[in-house]
Amino acid sequence: MTTVPNIEDFVDSTNPFVRRFSDYLDEHGMRKTTERYAILQHILNINGLFTIEGLQQLVDSDGFRVSRSTVYNTVELLMDAQILRRHVFEGMQAQYERITLPHTHLICTSCGRVKETRDPNFAAFMNARRYNAFNADHYSLYVYGTCSTCARKLKRAKQSTTKKNKRDKQL
């Protein structure tokens, strides 16, 4: 027989995020289902960004079985509970991450990989910044460019093109 993991073995009820979610569910008169805690607990094991699909696979791979709709549903609740944030980068599916210290996202337009980097100076700047007739809640800084790996690849490709052109001219 297949052993379905016991949620008790997974959830760390002393974890502040688990607490926050629990409180959130209480406040909104919502039910505490195994699926919701299983999803949250797996999110807590992720560092950085993840997609809905990746999250579902992670949960499934631990012997739980959650439907796509439940993942979407729970992630929505976690955003409302200020535990998660969604990012929509150029030409990729939505990615999520736990709300932590503010940081910048460096997005490589060549390979699509996203690097996160802390920037205390920028955070301080934004902290002090106020806008007219607009009450800021949070912000996202996306920097688009080329990562070092892709920069190297592009350089190499360019060099071989140049060589090829020289060869063509010689013929």
The verdict on 141 binding a second copy (CB under 8 A) reads: yes
Sorted by sequence, the CB contacts under 8 Å of residue 61 that are 6+ apart come out as none
Q: Which two tokens stand for residue 119?
A: 């920037």
Q: Which two tokens stand for residue 62?
A: 């631990």
Exposure on the CB side of residue 35, measured as CA atoms within 13 A? 14
H or E stretch at 20: helix 16-27
The verdict on 70 binding DNA (CB under 7 A) reads: yes
Q: Which of 23, 67, 100, 125 binds a second copy (CB under 8 A)?
A: 125
The verdict on 24 binding a second copy (CB under 8 A) reads: no
H or E stretch at 64: none
Sorted by sequence, the CB contacts under 8 Å of residue 159 that are 6+ apart come out as none
Query: Residue 34 touches which of DNA, a second copy, none (CB < 5 to 8 A by kind)?
Result: DNA
Q: Closest distance between a second copy and the C-beta of residue 134, in Å?
A: 5
The Cα 75–Cα 81 span in angstroms is 10
* Number of residues in contact with a second copy under rule CB under 8 A: 33
Site string for DNA, 72-111 (x = CB under 7 A): xxx-x--------------x-xx-----------------
Of residues 78 and 147, the one with the C-beta less far from DNA = 78
Binding residues vs a second copy (CB under 8 A): 86, 88-90, 106, 108-109, 115, 117, 119, 121-122, 125, 129, 131-148, 151
